[in-house]
Chains A and B, each alone.
Chain A
Amino acid sequence: MSRWRIDRLLSLLLATLAGGAALILLLVLAFLVREAWPVLSGIGWVRLVTDDGWYPLENRFGLLPMLWATLAAGVAATVLAATIGLASAIFARFFAPPSVARLYRPMLALLAGIPSVVYGLWGLTVLVPLIARWQPPGASLLAAILILALMILPTVALTSLSALNAVPGSLMRGAAALGLTRRGVVLGVAVPAARAGILGGFLLAAARALGETMAVLMVAGNVVQNPTGLFAPVRVLTANIALEMAYATGAHRAGLFASGLLLTLVVVVLAGLTARLVSNTAHV
């Protein structure tokens, strides 16, 4: 009887805490909408899409170029990091000598812990001048992609490694007993079995790439324009907020909140995508 009550209490407590977390998310969304309202209703959300430039002090509020830039940088960085990250996870799990594999994991964890602003500073002082020598001005979509890929690579590698480690040994032994080659065991059995975890890691990394601010701000050039080439400077939505928020008032400030709202929507869509992908692939 008393155990029943303790369980009830615990479940009530957990439900309250979980509800609180969900409530905070809703409150954040409501706050964003409220702060962006002068632009959404007064100026009209249509103009956020149709205006041909972002000059809020000249009453032009086009956000689309920054949305494309955000997506281009995020997607390209994720693809790059996913390829290298998955490869290094497979290497560490199946092909590396045990001593190397033992060192590899803490090294990745360490890399994942480096603050983004450090990557940004390195990008600004080393990577950008390097690209500038080849294709000026250097600060570009390419620099943003490379920095982002570098930043999320450890996340991708670590989540992939965990997913591969979690594949039941019986599956592997069964595959080996059937006489499959090492390549067949790895690519035909282990990777498909770990698919949900690996994909989840990719999308987690993509969300981080979309939300990253400082590092991108320092290397992307921040010119508001459609990303037409790898060497063209672009501005992402997060950088737009960080660059201008300190000095913005009135409609300009509301426009920046609209940037934040748009970014949140992109991340929500991404999260929805993650949930669907993971639930579709959970059963091998």
Chain B
Amino acid sequence: MKKLCWLRSILTTVCMLSLAGTPLAAQDRLVLTGSSTVAPLALEIAKRFEQLNPGVRVDVQSGGSSRGIADVTSELADIGLVSRALKPEEETLASYTIATDGIGIIVHRSNPVQSLTDAQVQAIYKGEISDWNRVGGKAGPITVVNKAEGRSTLELFLAHFGLKNSEIKAEVVIGENEQGVKTVAGNPDAIAYVSIGTAEFDETLGVPIRLLPMAGVAASVTNVREGHYPLSRPLNLVTKGVATGLARRFIDFARSARVDDLVEAQFFVPLAH
């Protein structure tokens, strides 16, 4: 990462030299810091923004949503990356949603269970319910699939259900979403949670999995985008006061349809345009 920045600064210098007579001012540089969930997406958007705006440099550093808030407040960063809605005490900051992250619970397509309540999901993940016949399915031991520590999907799942990772009794721990889909597809008794974007995509391809509704709301990209789906969160760019200048241009770009493909590539849900 450090090396890349270094390389980029050399490139920028070369660019500056070739554009002799038009030196770059400080307003041609943007610093973004914050959430490790948003950072990979912000980095991709920044790359495209730099391509379209020669001479502009955008630095993205991750370090958690709280760092994003702190850095913007202390003006260390121009834009903060925050993977949640702002709290009331952070109202002095302006926030701009660039995408939504939603996670859905998946089971095998042959599983007769049509829906689970929040309490049932909690009990299943804590190991208190370990057989499908207790939640209206065929008798069979439930295979609980959990995410590896540090993943944002895990964090959102734990926060929504009020669980601690050490309380979860998992049979399988996975990394990528795709691994979760394959695990459920290959095990009719498994239950997992993955990004809705991934699951919906695989379902349409005919992979034998099924997304379960949450609190009566169907798990679909459309419902996430429109804000009806409970297990989701906004991915925000925040600025100190209303964004102006280059930061404004970057935010407008990040909210435009021109980055939808980048958003989808990270399994997030793009904005409705």
- Chain A positions near chain B (C-beta within 8 angstroms): 53-58, 60, 124-125, 128-129, 132, 136-139, 217-218, 221-224, 233, 235, 242-244, 246-249, 252
Taking CB atoms, residues of chain A closer than 8 Å to B106 are none
In the bound complex, residues from chain B placing their C-beta under 8 Å from that of A244 are 148-150
Query: Which residues does chain A contribute within 8 Å of B150, judged by CB atoms?
Result: 56-57, 244, 246-249, 252
Complexed CA–CA distance, A77 and B149 (Å): 28
Chain B 34-51 interface mask (CB, 8 Å, partner A; 1/0): 001000000000000000
The answer to whether A137 and B186 have CB atoms under 8 Å apart is no
Return chain B residues, CB-CB under 8 Å to A124.
Answer: 179, 182-183, 186
Q: A57-B150, A244-B149 are in contact. Are A139 and B183 (CB under 8 A)?
A: yes
B173 touches A243 (CB 8 A): yes
Cα A5 to Cα B182 in complex, Å, equals 63
| Contact of B166 with A55 in the complex, beta carbons under 8 Å | yes
Number of A-B contacts (CB under 8 A): 88
Chain B residues contacting A233 (CB-CB under 8 Å) are 171-173
Separation of A218 and B64 alpha carbons in the complex (Å) = 28
A136 x B166 contact (CB < 8 A): no
Report yes or no: B171 in contact with A247, Cβ–Cβ below 8 A.
no
B187 touches A249 (CB 8 A): no
B173 & A221 in contact (Cβ 8 Å cutoff): yes
B186 lies within 8 A of A132 (CB): yes
Complex Cα–Cα for A252 and B36 (A): 14
Q: 7 new A-B pairs (CB below 8 Å) besides A124-B182, A217-B175, A247-B150?
A: A57-B149, A136-B187, A137-B189, A138-B187, A218-B179, A222-B174, A235-B173
Knowing A124-B182, A124-B186, A138-B187, say if A242 contacts B172 (CB, 8 Å): no
For residue B86, CB closer than 8 A to chain A, the reply is no
Of all chain A residues, the one with the shortest Cβ separation from B174 is A222
In the A-B complex, the 7 residue pairs with the smallest Cβ-Cβ separation, listed nearest first, are: A247-B150, A222-B173, A243-B148, A129-B186, A137-B143, A137-B171, A243-B175
Cα A192 to Cα B151 in complex, Å, equals 52
Q: Does B152 contact A (CB under 8 A)?
A: yes
Question: Which residue, A53, A60, A235, A246, has most C-beta atoms of chain B within 10 A?
Answer: A246
Does B165 touch A at the CB level, under 8 Å?
yes
Q: Are B187 and A55 in contact (CB under 8 A)?
A: no
With A129-B186, A249-B36 as known contacts, state yes or no: A60 contacts B166, CB within 8 Å. yes
A244–B147 Cα distance when bound, in Å, is: 10
Cβ of A137 to closest chain B Cβ, rounded Å: 4
Interface size class of B (residues with CB under 8 A): 20 to 34
Q: Are A249 and B172 closer than 8 Å at their CB atoms? A: no
Residues of chain A lying within 8 A (CB to CB) of residue B141: 136-137
Q: A124-B182, A128-B186 are in contact. Are A55 and B171 (CB under 8 A)?
A: no
- Min CB distance B104 to A, Å, is 20
Residues on B with C-beta less than 8 A from A139 are: 171-172, 183
B148/A222 in contact, CB under 8 A: yes
B63 contacts A by Cβ under 8 Å:
yes
Q: Within the complex, what minimum Cβ distance (angstroms) separates A59 from chain B?
A: 10
- Cross-interface CB contact of B36 among A129, A132, A247, cutoff 8 Å: A247
Does B170 lie at the interface of the complex (its beta carbon under 8 Å from any beta carbon of A)? yes
Contact B171 A223 (CB under 8 A): yes
B60 within 8 A of A: no
Report A213 CB to chain B, min CB distance, Å. 11
Residues in B with CB closer than 8 Å to A58 are 164-166
